[in-house]
Amino acid sequence: MTTANSAPVTITLTTNNQTSGWQQDKTLQISNEGIAIYLEQDSQFRLRKIQMAARSIEKLGVAHAQLAGDDWDEASQWAFALGFSCVNKLESITFCGAAELVERLNNKLAVYAWSRDLTNQTPAELYPLKLAELTSNYIKNLAPAHVKTRLIQGKALQDEQWQGIYNVGKGSVNEPCLLELDFNPSNDENTPVAACLVGKGITFDSGGYSIKSSAGMFDMKCDMGGAAVVAGALALAIKQGLAQRVKLYLCCAENMISNDAYKLGDIITYKNGVTCEVANTDAEGRLVLADGLLAASETGAPLIIDAATLTGAAVLATGGDYSALFSLDPAAAAKAHNAAKASNEALWQLPLEPWHQDKCPSVFAETANSRTQKGGGAGGASNAAGFLSRFVNNEGAGWLHFDLAAAYNADATSLWAAGATGLGIATIADLISTP
């Protein structure tokens, strides 16, 4: 067997023991020919076990995995890819099978690698305008004839009434911005927008004056994970032949403390007239997403999807193993569940009703952005989704909110390396690809 800094290691998948002695019946069976992943026929949680095996193989020091044999189908190869890939090793896999299958998996792996690497970058490398620039360049390169972008930054945000992004980001030396990216394969300006994607792009979150602890702040480079996921979803859909018009909105800012920073008790008046009292400057994600949802709603798109690393409450509820889904539209939620199942991505719907809008009351404004209890109090993830629902049209018809509890791992687990996971990309790409 070869390991780091050497030739690729051949990895086979089998339902037959490849060795005898102490390795017999072990999931990983190592020989001079390579490594076999042994699973019994009809093994329960098969894909999960493959992903765990891949994580173990990577930790052996294998630099490049070459999958081989007839037992690898598309789902099992992708499960292996998710487990094996890690920082500095995001595309170190050779897939097997028909040329069309290999191309599809390589395209998917490339998008996930781009999105995960984007999320893993340091706050010094990835400030708001840089996030917008890298995203614009990447997606333009995929379809240069069909992509147009518009960037609104700094004081221009206030002039155009994108008050959430402006207020959250005004305390940083790095200007906040709103990126609008229009993928229009028809190149006809009159073509209806079929779907809008909105991503939270907080490139660093100190918590503002509701400052986080050092431990709580350490991984906050990942707070733009929602932007990376929706951008990745659009990129993947384009690679897979997306044929309808989709707009992408990234709400980009740094949440910092300075003499210009927004404060507790400030009131933000949004473009639709909703007034919001700032009860917690660390509940900033929903403040910037509100602008993105308003912009998306202006297009009249029948499908609006936002994604964000929004609440610790969603992580507590799901254990960080699932993305949390919120919707006021049962039909749209059902489509999301079907897309997640087809993509083998874990998704769990949490409660959301119209009355969740009233869960963060304010004496001085129509709503507050949170409550003053730790973590926003009970039901924090649903209350955040309720806040967002104020900024979509048609009583939430066609709107899906993904709270990305599984987007990033501070430490390695049995399934994932430390860092961004990219979970949600395939599900959202599927949703925007279906007329």
Handedness of CA 183, 291, 288, 316 (dihedral sign): negative
- 3-class DSSP assignment, residue 78: helix
Question: Which tokens go with 55?
Answer: 């994580």
List, as one string, the DSSP characters of 336-377.
HHHHHHHHT--EEE----GGGGGSS--SSSSEESS-SSGGGS
Q: How many CA atoms lie within 13 A of 166 on its CB side?
A: 17
**In sequence order, which residues have a C-beta less than 8 Å from that of residue 63 and are 6 or more positions away?**
3, 4, 5, 6, 8, 89, 92
Question: Which tokens go with 233?
Answer: 């979803």
Residues 205, 199 contacting (CB under 8 angstroms)? no
Question: Which tokens go with 372?
Answer: 């003053």
Question: Which tokens go with 425?
Answer: 């990309």
Q: Which residue has the tokens 């649903």?
A: 382
In sequence order, the β-bridge partners of residue 268 are 276
Rounded distance between C-alpha atoms, residue 196 and residue 188, angstroms: 17
Residue 200, judged by CB atoms within 10 A of its CB (0-12, 13-18, 19+), counts as buried
Residues 270, 391 contacting (CB under 8 angstroms)? yes
212 flagged as catalytic: yes
Rounded distance between C-alpha atoms, residue 350 and residue 97, angstroms: 39
What does R_g of the chain's alpha carbons equal in angstroms? 22
Handedness of CA 316, 318, 323, 325 (dihedral sign): negative
User: What is the distance, to the nearest Å, from the Cα of residue 24 to the centroid of all Cα atoms in its chain?
Assistant: 40
Question: Of 375, 166, 218, 200, nearest to 282 (Cα)?
Answer: 375
Rounded distance between C-alpha atoms, residue 200 and residue 329, angstroms: 22
Helix (H) or strand (E) holding 201, with range, is strand 195-205
Among residues 245, 286, 335, 390, the one annotated as catalytic is 286
List, as one string, the DSSP characters of 161-227.
T-HHHHHHHTTSSSPPEEEEEEE-TT--TTSPP-EEEEEEEEEEE--TTSPPPHHHHTTGGGGGHHH
In sequence order, the β-bridge partners of residue 66 are 10, 94
Please list the active-site residues: 212, 286
